[in-house]
Structure 1
Amino acid sequence: MANFVKFGLDSLVDVLKAAGEPTRLRLLALLAAGDLTVTDLTEILGQSQPRISRHLKLLGEAALIDRYQEGAWAYFRLTQQGASVELANTLLKYASENDPVLQRDAERLAAVKRIRSERAQDYFSRNAAEWDELRRLQVADEQVDEALIELIGEKPVDAFLDLGTGTGRMLQLLSGHYRRAVGVDASRDMLAVARANLDKAKITAASVRHGDIFNLPLDAQDFDLITIHQVLHFLDQPEFAIAEAAKLLRPGGRLVIIDLAPHNLEYLRDEHAHLRLGFSHQMVADWLTKAELDVETVQDLRAGGEGNPALTVTIWLARDPRMLMAAGNDSEIPGILAKRA
């Protein structure tokens, strides 16, 4: 039987007041389906921006929604954890899909997401030639995916972070493994692609946001799995990105790095903005050790075929060595029970 969180009377009334108003309940239903801006929400609900902003403020104060900034835009989404949002999700489950107001909201939401997808597809189409050329040089995505999933294993992941998320491919690949996930990227164009892909795949447990990999807008020790997939070779100081990622790991959490082994394709510097021509096993292992992580696995994946230049992909798996203490039960999902000094 599920363990229901109990509220004090005042706290329960506060949450019910926040959610128990038609516009705010409509907002919760929309934000449960993904990240949206105030502009998106005003367009869908047909209400003024000040009114929508006021309702969002009240929902935020009740810890029902999260807000994050991306350049000039502020995005909102349903909070992914906490007692208040569990209660809100329960209320939403009792809302009829046949309600005409909610049906109209869903139709307008679909239109907003369709426009978002069209814009993302336009960007992707303009850059497709570059992506296709790089794919021909490397190991097939399917081979990398299979190796990654095998390394991660079947144990449930509570919180997953994908750094340099690009099109959100890792968020989609691992969607059956995590309870909640965040993808961070420095390119707003790529974030638009990622959002469109998550919408299309109907993945609501993951969100993406703009951020600097060297100064991440996230809480320390909040993730038990982090991936950095084909990102380090674009960075001048990749060791700093690894150190920043390590700060976000929970005790016992894992960091997976997927990148290129050393190669001599110099043209990738000028034509594809690669700052590093691959990484040796020892180089990345040294950076991981300096970040106070234990290297558990290093695996090379070599492209098949002959006659064409091929880039070897390497996967490094490292773990935060701090001990996880028993939480008083046999839960599969670890908690934050130890702190990095």
Structure 2
Amino acid sequence: MSAAIEIFRAFADPTRLRIVHLLRAMELAVGEIAQVVGQSQPRVSRHVRILAEAGLVERRKEGNWVFLRLARSAEVAPFIALLDQLRPSPSERLWQEADLARLAAVRADRSRAAEAYFAEHAEEWDAIRSLHVAEAEVETAMTALLASQSLGHLLDIGTGTGRMIEVFGPGADHVTALDRSPDMLRLARAKLPEDAAGKYALMLGDFGDLPLEAESSDTILLHQVLHYAQAPEMVIAEAARVARIGGRVLIVDFAAHEREELRTRDQHSRLGFSDDQIQGWFARAGLDLEQVESLPGQELTVQLWLGRRRGARILRHEERISA
């Protein structure tokens, strides 16, 4: 009974109820909650601590920010469902509606920050885009390659500005988007739909050491990411490790090229890849290369490599050493 008592105690405060209702709508930082409920961050943090100690809220650190979401444990689910059975009083309905209106303002702030970032870096991205085919053509080709089966749990490695979760998220059962840049994750968060709570998870992490369980994803995307890797074969091995047996890994990147300025100006570690390279790395990682598609552009060719995970469980590097 002690767990139930702690949960009911956590609910027994109007501000904490407001926080729970807000987190049912979307994942939020403490500062964003404070902005919505009109209270100081220290005061909101105390409420969040009580909710977390009762097991109702989970914290996730992302750079200097801490994001919150409702816990997904089986023990908590009945208490959250209970809120749906309770009819709010007129005054409760008013503050719920007012909080959701202020939450819309938080979304707008995120979108404005994303737009400002895009504007600041537009010339850099346009310079690269001018060398290859239009992104719309790439996305159409990706959609065609993935159309043969459901996306299931979609993992977008190196999500960047969140374009891939914007394109493919609606068709997935669940979406995990990962990036090592907190700034990029904030941009990606601005792309999330209003009904994102529970379906979308944005995570801070490195593509060479994914903070995910083995065999946890059905479809894995690496869109214009691999050329930043010092060791692409390790990134592919990590993607294969978290892919379920029969799951798919789609890499979209440049074919081998000689545009050296992309290395010096744009920090590309690799100047594209050959089909033989990708096929060899796939084979060593336990992936079968199923399809390859080329999209030639003005000076760069965008290449799509689709692999499928084979049989046995794939170990992490440190697990292989200890074995």
Name the TM tier (shorter chain). 0.7 to 0.9
Are residues 1:190 and 2:184 paired? yes
Aligned to 1:161: 155
SS in 2 for 1:285: helix
SS in 2 for 1:157: coil
1:16 shift after superposition: 6.0
- Following the alignment from structure 1 to structure 2, what is the Cα–Cα distance between the partners of residues 93 and 161? 34
Residue type at the aligned position of 1:313: V
2:303 to 290, 314, 323: 314
- Following the alignment from structure 2 to structure 1, what is the Cα–Cα distance between the partners of residues 229 and 39? 44
SS in 2 for 1:147: helix
1:297 to 277, 291, 295: 291
Are the equivalent residues in 1 in contact too, given 2:154–2:176 (CA < 8 A)?
A: yes
Aligned to 2:321: none
Normalising by structure 1, what TM-score? 0.80
Aligned to 2:319: none
Are the equivalent residues in 2 in contact too, given 1:258–1:316 (CA < 8 A)?
A: yes
1:56 shift after superposition: 2.9
> What are the residue-to-residue correspondences of 1:25-36 with 2, within 5 Å?
25-36=17-28
Aligned length: 312
Segments of 5+ residues of structure 2 without an aligned counterpart are 316-323
1:212 to 206, 215, 234: 206
Are the equivalent residues in 2 in contact too, given 1:123–1:189 (CA < 8 A)?
A: no
- Following the alignment from structure 1 to structure 2, what is the Cα–Cα distance between the partners of residues 202 and 135? 31
Q: Deviations over 1:158-203 (max 9, x none)?
A: 321101101101111112221221211122222221111225x654
> CA RMSD for the aligned pairs?
2.9
1:261 shift after superposition: 0.7
SS in 2 for 1:173: helix
Aligned to 1:330: none
1:152 shift after superposition: 1.7
- Following the alignment from structure 1 to structure 2, what is the Cα–Cα distance between the partners of residues 86 and 263? 56
Are the equivalent residues in 2 in contact too, given 1:154–1:177 (CA < 8 A)?
A: no
Aligned to 1:147: 141
Are the equivalent residues in 1 in contact too, given 2:3–2:54 (CA < 8 A)?
A: no
Are the equivalent residues in 1 in contact too, given 2:154–2:174 (CA < 8 A)?
A: yes
> What are the residue-to-residue correspondences of 1:6-17 with 2, within 5 Å?
none
- Following the alignment from structure 2 to structure 1, what is the Cα–Cα distance between the partners of residues 188 and 302? 23
**Displaced runs of 4 or more, over 4 A:** 9-21, 61-64, 79-83, 92-98, 338-341
Aligned to 1:3: none
Segments of 5+ residues of structure 1 without an aligned counterpart are 1-8, 304-308, 323-337
- Following the alignment from structure 1 to structure 2, what is the Cα–Cα distance between the partners of residues 254 and 39? 38
Aligned to 1:257: 251
Are residues 1:277 and 2:266 paired? no
Aligned to 1:84: 76
- Following the alignment from structure 2 to structure 1, what is the Cα–Cα distance between the partners of residues 79 and 291? 41
Q: Deviations over 1:118-143 (max 9, x none)?
A: 22221111101111222221122222
1:87 shift after superposition: 5.8
Q: Deviations over 1:207-256 (max 9, x none)?
A: 32322222223333221111110011122211111112222222222211
- Following the alignment from structure 1 to structure 2, what is the Cα–Cα distance between the partners of residues 41 and 288? 44
Residue type at the aligned position of 1:319: R
SS in 2 for 1:310: coil
- Following the alignment from structure 2 to structure 1, what is the Cα–Cα distance between the partners of residues 99 and 219? 35
1:174 to 162, 168, 172: 168
1:22 shift after superposition: 3.5
1:248 to 221, 234, 242: 242
Are the equivalent residues in 2 in contact too, given 1:64–1:85 (CA < 8 A)?
A: no
Are the equivalent residues in 2 in contact too, given 1:175–1:203 (CA < 8 A)?
A: no
2:127 to 128, 133, 140: 133
> Equivalent pairs: percent with the same residue?
39
Are the equivalent residues in 2 in contact too, given 1:172–1:203 (CA < 8 A)?
A: no
SS in 1 for 2:192: helix
Residue type at the aligned position of 1:220: A
Aligned to 2:230: 236
- Following the alignment from structure 1 to structure 2, what is the Cα–Cα distance between the partners of residues 228 and 257? 5
1:114 shift after superposition: 2.1
Distance 1:159 1:152, change over 3 A: same
Are the equivalent residues in 1 in contact too, given 2:241–2:313 (CA < 8 A)?
A: no
Normalising by structure 2, what TM-score? 0.84
- The structure carrying a bigger helix percent of its residues is 2
